[in-house]
Amino acid sequence: MTQLLDLEQLLSDPVVAALARAEETAWFSQSPTPSAAAIEASGIDPAITADARARFGRFAPWFAERFPDTRPTHGILESPLVGIPEMQRELGTRFGRELPGKLWLKRDDLLPVSGSIKARGGIHEVLQVAERIAMDAGMMTPADDARVLMAPGVKELFAQHGIAVGSTGNLGLSIGIVASELGFKTTVHMSLDARAWKKDLLRSRGVTVVEHDGDFSDAVAAGRRTAAEDPGVWFVDDESSLSLFAGYSAAGDRLAGQLASLEVTVDQTHPLIVHLPCGVGGGPGGVTFGLKQAFGDAVHAIFAEPVNAPCMSLGVRTGLHDSISVTDIGLDGVTAADGLAVGRPSRLVGEHLQQMIDGFVTLTDERMKAFQGLLHNIEGIDIEPSAAAGFAGPWRILQNAAYRSAFGLDDEKMANATHIVWATGGSMVPLQEMASYVAEGQRLATEISWA
């Protein structure tokens, strides 16, 4: 009876009620928290971001040696930032309102090694584990070139250790590819509905893929239990890992450099609004943490989720964070956006970073796919459905005068705004599967309502 009364109370909130009905929603913070105060309130030391950037730098020679697609950047893992003005015009026509400012796409689908935003965090944690083990064994010093890890003795050392992770797909790919290349025994726990090609790719690299009934949270829990039984296995916990978070946060300074090179101004009169697809929350949360360090109050983060799996929106709106799942309000968590198919959010992000997040947008699978189809038609860019979730955000902001007023985003500032949709993955999708995505997206673009 108590649970029923609690649910009734939760559903008295119109936003939670709309989430429970799997409706598209958009809700925003009612007042800004100064970035410095929000970072302090998070309890997370900003030094972890600089540490992650330094680690990526130390490993750049190793990546350039082991992964040919990193050689053009001398082993630095970064993705392009591209303007998409034709997509901006097309969406303005379809939504019936022109978007002021400029629209860009952050192409983490082209991030080297494993082509997704998850690579930033997953690869970083693997590198941190590898350094720790090698240094503890006296086979590496802080001053060493990371190519010392290619020595036979180090590979034999790593073969005695395991790395495990629970994943919907992209995090597992990033960890599986790099950990197996270093020589670790690697296990990825995945739900049965995760993409078959991702499982096949991991197995082709000698990674053990364990499939579980249930959703992402079930796979994570099972992996965590299994790893706890073996002290030689390091479990990468997507729900609470600060190492993953640090890797994601390194994107902040990188983006600042890209914008500066493109002569894009970001300051109080030229706001930067970043639209981030959200699953468990670690990726967008870490990126937001890094962006706040780089741009302060000039940056605004909007999280986008599928209507069937709005776990972060639900957790923050109710204040229950990881104590509530989308299944508690009657949703099944099933979505074509497999990277976002998460029922229970990260407490690390929801509880500690909520003051840095301006708002939350949910959208249907059909709309995500329609965005994907339009992006193919208009800009010639192919991404996964989950990577298109951020396209809804700019126009939802235009519809919300109260949010813009509270955050001082008047007409002049919106005219100067830089909107970035952060793409999560797509370059590794098999051609036949991508062609199917595109065909469905093209069809849906003509069928869904854009009003």
Q: DSSP letters along 270-302, please?
A: B-EEEEEE-SSSHHHHHHHHHHHHHHGGGEEEE
Q: How far lies 185's CA from each of 163, 209, 369, in Å?
A: 6, 11, 36
**Angle between the N-to-C axes of helices 118-136 and 282-295, in degrees from 0 to 180, rounded to the nearest 10:** 90
pLDDT score, position 191: 81
Q: Could you state, in chain order, the average pLDDT of each consecutive group of 10 residues for the chain (451 residues)?
A: 66 97 98 97 98 97 97 96 98 98 98 94 98 97 93 95 90 95 95 86 95 80 87 91 97 97 98 97 97 98 98 97 95 92 92 96 98 98 97 98 98 98 94 96 97 79
C-beta neighbour count of 411 within 10 angstroms:
9
Residue 109 CB contacts under 8 Å (≥ 6 apart), including other chains:
79, 115, 116, 383, 384, 387, 423, 424, 425, 426, 427
Beta bridge partners of 163: 186, 234
Per residue in 356-412, pLDDT tens?
A: 999 999 999 999 999 999 999 999 999 999 999 999 999 999 999 999 999 999 999
Q: 236: which residues sit within 8 A by CB, 6+ positions away?
A: 122, 125, 126, 163, 164, 165, 171, 175, 243, 244
- Most distant CA atoms of the chain, gap in Å: 63
Residue 263 falls in which region: left (phi positive, over 0), alpha (psi -120 to 50) or beta: left
What is the amino acid identity at position 367? R
> Which pLDDT does position 172 carry in this prediction?
92
Within its chain, how far is the Cα of 34 from the centroid?
A: 24
> What pLDDT is attached to residue 1?
34
**DSSP secondary structure letter of residue 336:** S
Domain 118-244 falls in which CATH fold?
Rossmann fold (3.40.50)
Half-sphere exposure of 152 (CA within 13 A, CB side): 0
CA 305 to chain centre: 11
Two domains, one topology: 2-64+74-114+249-447 and 118-244: yes
Report the distance separating Cα 398 and Cα 323, nearest Å.
32
The CA distance from 270 to 255, in Å, is 15
Q: Are 397 and 99 in contact (CB under 8 A)?
A: no
The answer to whether the beta carbons of residues 113 and 119 sit under 8 Å apart is yes
SS3 368: helix
Can you tell me the distance from the alpha carbon of 122 to that of 99, in angstroms, rounded to the nearest whole number? 34
Is the CATH number 3.40.50.1100 carried by domain 2-64+74-114+249-447? yes
Residue identified by tokens 């949910």 is 362
| Single-letter amino acid code for the residue at 261 | S
Residues pairing with 303 in the sheet: 276, 360
Q: Could you tell me which residues come within 8 angstroms of residue 314 by beta carbon, excluding any fewer than 6 positions away?
A: 16, 19, 320, 324, 326, 329, 345
Sheet with 208-212, side-by-side order of all strands: 208-212, 185-191, 162-167, 233-236
Instruction: State residue 108's pLDDT score.
Output: 97
Name the nearest CA neighbour of 55 among 187, 186, 188, 249.
Answer: 249
Record the tokens describing residue 185, joined without a space.
């025994």
Can you give the pLDDT at residue 215? 74
Q: Which residues of 270-302 are buried (b: 16+ CB within 10 A; e: fewer)?
A: ebbbbbbbbbbbbbbbbbbbbbbbbbbbbbbbb
Segments making up each domain of the chain, as ranges? 2-64+74-114+249-447, 118-244
Q: Is 251 exposed, middle or buried (0-12, 13-18, 19+ CB in 10 A)?
A: buried
